[in-house]
Homo-oligomer: A and B are copies of this chain.
Amino acid sequence: MARNPERRNLLADAGLRILAAAGARGLTHRAVDAEAGVPTGTASNYFPSRSALLAGLAERIFDRIAPDPAVVADLGRREPSLALFTDYLRDIVARTTREPDLTRALFELRLEAARHPELRAALGDVLRRGYADDVAFHVAAGLPGGAYEIALLHYAVDGLLLDLLTTSIDAGFDPDQVVSTLVSRLVRGADLAP
């Protein structure tokens, strides 16, 4: 499919920048070529059709969106606790807002996947795997709460990111504080009714 992985990634990264900056409407083979600074036709050679291009971007985005191994290793050395979990979520929010292009592109892909069955299958697998991993980590660490609480957190953090990266209600609260409160109330509240 692709002989030169470097060039393929270069093109995919250019495509993600376009997806964030111009939306699905601006994502074309020629635009990717221009953004990547390669001759016209290159993107068409690496991603023969438009759906192949979208699939390529989906593949690439999860390589890049994975947490920084250094941060993960750092967190892994600490004793499991809600404070640790809070820092883990804060890292996600900080990283995604520091690279808004990636997250905006992911939102675009999620919307696009709602219409494109093959893309939905691929994206859904990755999202579900991430969710399952979070649940497994949480349970293994002996923290309060389980799958239900992780799902609630997932929704809330996604909504927060959507607000931060698109049209916002400008409530003006500090994201770190919001994350802290979400963990505190949603997870610790697992002990409470109902």
Interface pair B148/A173, CB less than 8 Å apart: yes
In the complex, which residues of chain B have a beta carbon less than 8 angstroms from the beta carbon of A158?
158-159, 162-163
**Complex Cα distance A173/B153, Å?**
13
Task: List the number of copies, as a whole number.
Answer: 2
Selected from B124, B152, B170, B184, the residue in CB contact (under 8 A) with A156 is B152
Interface flags for A135-177 (1: CB within 8 Å of B; 0: not) read 0000000000001100110111111101101111111010000
Tell me the smallest distance from the CB of A111 to a CB of chain B, in Å: 6
**Complex Cα distance A173/B151, Å?**
9
**21 contacts across the A-B interface (CB closer than 8 A):** A104-B111, A104-B114, A107-B111, A110-B162, A113-B166, A127-B167, A147-B171, A148-B171, A151-B178, A152-B182, A154-B163, A154-B171, A155-B156, A155-B157, A159-B162, A180-B194, A182-B186, A184-B192, A184-B194, A185-B189, A185-B192
Chain A residues with a Cβ under 8 A of chain B: 21-25, 104, 107-108, 110-115, 120, 123-124, 127-128, 130-131, 147-148, 151-152, 154-160, 162-163, 165-171, 173, 178, 180-182, 184-186, 189, 192-194
For residue A150, which residue of chain B has the nearest CB? B171
For residue A155, which residue of chain B has the nearest CB? B159
Interface of A: prevailing SS: helix
Tell me the smallest distance from the CB of A159 to a CB of chain B, in Å: 3
Tell me the smallest distance from the CB of A99 to a CB of chain B, in Å: 15
**Complex Cα distance A23/B165, Å?**
19
